Structure formats: structure tokens, C-alpha cells
Amino acid sequence: MSDTDPKRTRLTMPEYAMALAHVASLRSEDPYRKVGAVAIDFDNRVIGTAYNGLAPGYNASPEFWHDRDDRRKYMLHAEVNLCSLFTRGNVKLVACTTKPCTSCMQMLCAYGVREVYYRDDYPESEADAIAHRYSIQLVRLTDYPRIIAGFEAG
């Protein structure tokens, strides 16, 4: 979204969703990769927000966070947490701060999501091939307002 375009003062739904996903990512406890996700229904209402993290109620020791490779298998992805908030066919679009991994893209397909927007690339993912196979719109969206940019710097 161009800040210099006087005709355009309202966010598109994908931009709005991405801004919310960005805020959700700030809740992630993972020091290496903070991912947020948002689901929007067919009436343009927010169904839910989610972020990557450990299972609810589990409190990891400080040592848990030192070995990234070991802890990766325990982290629940933002998309997994998000899909727990809705049922198949109720979501128009999902915005994620990182391109969904292969299994998360498969899950979004299974939940009937037709539009997926992401900010950061994830080269190891097969999301592009999955989206192409199932005619899902997969779009990189990097131009959206980051209202809390100052918070990230701290």
C-alpha cells in the first residue's frame, strides 16, 4: 500500500489481514522465527488470529530454547493453531507472515482455504506446487502498514 496515494486510504482485506498477522506474530515465544496467521471469513470478518508456539499450558524451561533444531519438532505452527479456530469452508482467506510449509499448505487445502497471502518466503516449502495443483491463490504481500514498527526495534 502506497502511503503517497491520496485516493487510497483504506486497506484491502489482504493488507488488513497481513497487518493483523504481523501483530499476532509478536506473541510467538520462539526466539528464532515468529510467525503469525489470520483467517478472514466470506463477510470479511476476522475469524481468528494465531501464532507459532508450544502447546497451550506447556511451560518450557529456559534451556529448551537453546537448541533450535531440537525444539523445532515441538513447535506448533501458526497455521495449525489457526485452523483449530474454524471449520472447513468457513474461511475466505488466510494471511501468514511466513509462507506456509508443505504440511501447513496441505492443511489449508483440506480446510478449503482458497486464498493464502504471505510476507516472508520459505524456500523449503512446496506451497507453490500445492497451490498450483489445487488452484489456490498464493500471493506474496510485503507492502502493508506496520503500525507497530517501533515496538519491533526494541
Q: Where are the strands (E) in 6-114, listed by range? A: 36-40, 46-51, 93-98
pTM flag (> 0.95):
no
Q: Which domains does the chain have, with CATH numbers?
A: 13-145 (3.40.140.10)
- Please tell me what DSSP assigns to residue 62: G
Is 41:89 a contact under the CB 8 Å cutoff? Answer: no
Q: Over its length of 154 residues, how does the chain's per-residue pLDDT go in tens digits?
A: 555 565 567 899 999 999 999 999 999 999 889 999 999 999 999 999 999 999 989 999 989 989 988 998 999 999 999 999 999 999 999 999 999 999 999 999 999 999 999 999 999 999 999 999 999 999 999 887 766 545 454 4
Q: What per-residue confidence (pLDDT) applies to 31? A: 87
